[in-house]
Structure formats: structure tokens, C-alpha cells
Amino acid sequence: MNVKLNDNVLVIAGKDKGKTGRVVATSPKSGRVTVQGVNLQKKHTKARKATDVAGIVEREGAIDVSNVMVICDKCGKATRVKHAFVEADGKTKKVRVCKCGNVLDKTYKKQAKAADKKAEEAPKKRTRKRTAKAAEAPAEENKD
């Protein structure tokens, strides 16, 4: 399945064609996804306890994964997902990529940012105080 949880998707077929929303739930075995605000179904509920209230509840129903397309964060277009192998931290990972070249996997983006921060903040080389003073003392003597 090319669609994952919390992806922004565009519905391309069915009664809600053209609507966009966030993926709330996925069911890979049946090939269906539940999108927020799409395929609303009414369910009649009966009061089972004295404190419960009977009524009609609207909830999202599942739609087939082939009827949605992922929206790219960078270009803002609905796109077919292609897969690419990207190397990070010495490991090769398979990630979802848009046609514009943007990586769609949010977990990979977080890991890449963390790796960049670690590379920028390289730890300073530690030296003992005695060795640092000994190295500075001969340099000062040569200046006189």
C-alpha cells in the first residue's frame, strides 16, 4: 500500500471525488483507508444504559486505497508514489518519493534532520588541562 497513516490524500473517485483529508486508519489486508471528513455514514445508536443518549452519529467509512492519491507537501499536487532507495547513516532505506523529488515519508525526514544536526554539532576534542598548559608554555617562551 502506498498510502500511510497521517498522509494528506485527495479522493479521485466516488461520491466524494475532489475532497482532501488526512488518513485516520489503514487496513492493508483489505486494501482500504479511512479519510477524515470523507465517506460520511450515519449510524443509529440505541441507548443501552440509563446515562446513554440515543441518536444518529456520523462517522467516516473506509474507501478503497485505489481511489485516493497522496498529496505532496512540497509541490501541493496529488501524485503517484514512486519508491527510491536512499542512503542515510550508512544504511539504505526504501522511501516514498514524489515526482518533484520530495521524500513523502515523514519518519525518514525526521531521521535525516537529526543526522544533519549531529553532523553540524561535532563534539570538541577533549584535552586534559595539564597537557593544554604544557603545550601553551613552550609557545610563550619562544615569543620572548
Q: Are 62 and 35 within one domain?
A: yes
Q: Are 67 and 91 within one domain?
A: no
Question: What CATH number is given to the structural domain containing 63?
Answer: 2.30.30.30
Q: Are 18 and 62 within one domain?
A: yes
Q: What pLDDT was estimated at residue 143?
A: 55
Q: Are 63 and 105 within one domain?
A: no
Q: What pLDDT was estimated at residue 109?
A: 67
In angstroms, the CA 82 to CA 95 distance is 8
Q: Are 14 and 62 within one domain?
A: yes
Q: Are 7 and 67 within one domain?
A: yes
Host domain of residue 7: 1-45+52-71
Backbone angles phi, psi at 83, to 5 degrees: -105, 145
Q: Are 9 and 65 within one domain?
A: yes
Q: Are 58 and 108 within one domain?
A: no
pLDDT tens for the 144 residues of the chain, in order: 889 999 999 999 999 999 999 999 999 999 999 999 999 999 999 999 999 999 999 999 999 999 999 999 889 999 998 889 988 777 888 889 998 888 888 777 667 777 767 666 656 666 666 666 666 666 555 555
Q: Are 60 and 4 within one domain?
A: yes
Structural domains counted in the chain: 2
Q: Are 33 and 93 within one domain?
A: no
Give CA separation, 93 vs 28, 84, 107, 108, 109, in Å.
21, 8, 11, 9, 12
In angstroms, the CA 45 to CA 25 distance is 22
Q: Are 94 and 115 within one domain?
A: yes
